[in-house]
């Protein structure tokens, strides 16, 4: 059976969570998030595979 595109996105997301280093873009993003306010509204979801599961449609 062929995996869907969202399955590949999900796999990539989980694979990259384990590889966070001080030089990575994710690390810099986490530092930036800590400096911002507690709640920040964004225009589009960051985890597309999860948003689709919850009913998000672009």
Cut 0.75: pTM above it: no
Domain ranges for the chain: 5-53
C-alpha to C-alpha distance for 26 and 17, rounded to whole angstroms: 8
**12-55 tens-digit pLDDT:** 777 766 666 666 777 788 888 888 888 888 889 888 888 988 99
Bigger pLDDT: 51 vs 58: 51
Taken in order 31, 41, 6, 50, the sign of the CA dihedral is: positive
pLDDT at 21 (0 to 100): 62
Q: Within its chain, how far is the Cα of 19 from the centroid?
A: 14
pLDDT at 20 (0 to 100): 60
pLDDT at 28 (0 to 100): 82
Mean pLDDT, residues 4-18: 77
């Amino acid at each position: 059976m062929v995996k869907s595109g969202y399955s590949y996105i999900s796999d990539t997301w989980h694979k990259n969570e384990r590889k966070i280093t001080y030089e990575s873009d994710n690390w810099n993003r986490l530092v930036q998030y800590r400096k911002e306010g507690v709640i920040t509204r964004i225009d589009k979801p960051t985890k597309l595979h999860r948003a689709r599961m919850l009913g998000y449609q672009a």
